[in-house]
């Protein structure tokens, strides 16, 4: 799939300079940035879900209890 972006000249130069500085093509920079963003959002969703499950759980363990279960 090919994607086109509309960028200001300033943003275009910024993308090119940043990509060059990190030995990437602009395409690789954009792909990696988008994938990282998706991964971060997914991680955040998982964290929020697990935190909610933790708070709804009546059981909690002390550190000593956790270590004994290993």
Task: Tell me the pTM.
Answer: 0.70
Tokens found for residue 45: 């969703």
Tokens in use for 65? Answer: 């209890």
Quote the number of domains for the chain: 1
Q: Per the domain annotation, does 35 fall within a domain?
A: yes
Read off φ and ψ for residue 2, nearest 5 degrees.
Answer: -110, 140
Question: Does residue 41 lie in a domain region?
Answer: yes
Domain presence at residue 28: yes
For residues 9 and 28, what is the distance between their CA atoms, to the nearest angstrom?
Answer: 19
Domain that holds residue 26: 22-52
Q: Is residue 64 part of a domain?
A: no
User: How distant, in Å, are the alpha carbons of 4, 33, 50, 69, 70 from that of 65?
Assistant: 55, 41, 20, 6, 9
Give the tens place of pLDDT for each residue, 18-66.
999 999 999 999 999 999 999 999 999 999 998 888 888 767 778 898 8
**Does some domain include residue 60?**
no
């Amino acid at each position: 799939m090919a994607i086109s972006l509309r960028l200001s000249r300033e943003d275009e130069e910024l993308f090119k300079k940043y990509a060059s500085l990190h030995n990437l093509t602009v395409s690789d920079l954009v792909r990696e940035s988008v994938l990282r963003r998706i991964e971060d959002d997914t991680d955040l969703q998982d964290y929020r879900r697990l935190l909610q499950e933790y708070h709804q759980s009546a059981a909690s363990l002390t550190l000593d209890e956790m270590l004994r279960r290993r």
